[in-house]
Amino acid sequence: MIQHIVLLALSSDHEAAELEAIMQELAMLVDRLPGFTKFEHGPNRDFESLSQNYDYGFVCHFADEKTSHAYLDDATHKALGKRLLMLCDGGVEGIMVIDLEVGR
């Protein structure tokens, strides 16, 4: 399984309603892309004070690498990514992505 983890350094003036709309639309991809099994999102609580620059994040659960590539190539995902960049400090510089292979 692949866990696609995305951390967001949101700009101080980002639109909370737009962030929520993007998260809702990303969640809908679970029903459209076979192998995309779960979507979770929420604010970063940073209990260890190690990721203070990242305010928010989401996790996509994919059955396998093939599914993760289908997600990356999906037109809706790409459009939502462009909208998300507008909410982050420095655009792409305000996003960290980690893809973990788990459950081997």
Q: Over 21-49, what HEC string results?
A: HHHHHHHHHHHHCCCEEEEEEEECCCCCC
Question: Burial code of 20-51, b = ≥16 C-beta within 10 A, e = fewer?
Answer: eebbeebbebeeebebbeebebeebeeeeeee
Q: Percent of the chain beyond pLDDT 70? A: 100
Residue 28 is predicted with a pLDDT of 97
pLDDT at 69: 97
Q: What is the mean pLDDT of the chain?
A: 96
What does the pLDDT read at residue 80?
Answer: 98
Q: What share of the chain is helix, strand, coil (3-state, %, to 5)?
A: 40, 30, 30
pTM of the model: 0.94
pLDDT in tens, 52-72: 899 999 999 999 999 999 999
- Indicate if the alpha-carbon torsion angle 28, 56, 97, 64 is positive or negative: negative
The stretch 95-104 carries a mean pLDDT of 93
Name the band, by pLDDT with cuts 50, 70 and 90, for residue 94: very high
